[in-house]
Amino acid sequence: MIVLVSDAGPGIADPKAALARGTSGGGTKAGAVGSTGLGLDIVRRVAESTGGDLRIGRSVLGGTEVRIWIGLHGSSPDRGRRGHGRRVTRRFGRRRPKEPRTAAGPGAHPGALH
């Protein structure tokens, strides 16, 4: 799935810096309080966890265009980063090992041969 966000604002001066966590990508005036830059970083991480990607470019409207590719078909996430993968947990404590089924043992079909 592709999500496209486009605007006619002032744009993002440095797209690479905008994707760096904690860096403001906006061209704010000196002394003005800008964004923390976490929004695009979070969206990028979510997209990458599905096997997708995020790209920043120039909008036909004159501002910024952000394209987000989200994998919907179980694309495997990047296994190189800790915590970005499928977590498997048990709900009811330890599992008991299954006892082997025998024809004469418990769970055998009534019509089974001995």
Structural domains present in the chain: 2-69 (3.30.565.10)
Judged against a pLDDT cut of 70, whether residue 97 lies above it is answered with no
What is the model's pLDDT at position 35?
64
What is the model's pLDDT at position 80?
44
What is the model's pLDDT at position 67?
96
Judged against a pLDDT cut of 60, whether residue 65 lies above it is answered with yes
Residue 20's closest CA among 40, 6, 5? 40
**Alpha helix (H) ranges present in the chain?**
15-19, 38-49
**Alpha helix (H) ranges present in 20-113?**
38-49
CB environment 49-79: b (16+ within 10 A), e (fewer): bbbbebebeebeeeebbbbbbbbeeeeebee
pLDDT tens by residue, 98-109: 666 666 555 555
On whether the CB atoms of residues 42 and 54 are closer than 8 A, the answer is no
Judged against a pLDDT cut of 80, whether residue 39 lies above it is answered with yes
3-state helix, strand, coil in the chain (%, to 5): 15, 15, 70
Percent of the chain with pLDDT over 70: 49
Beta pairing partners, 68: 3, 54
Judged against a pLDDT cut of 70, whether residue 19 lies above it is answered with yes
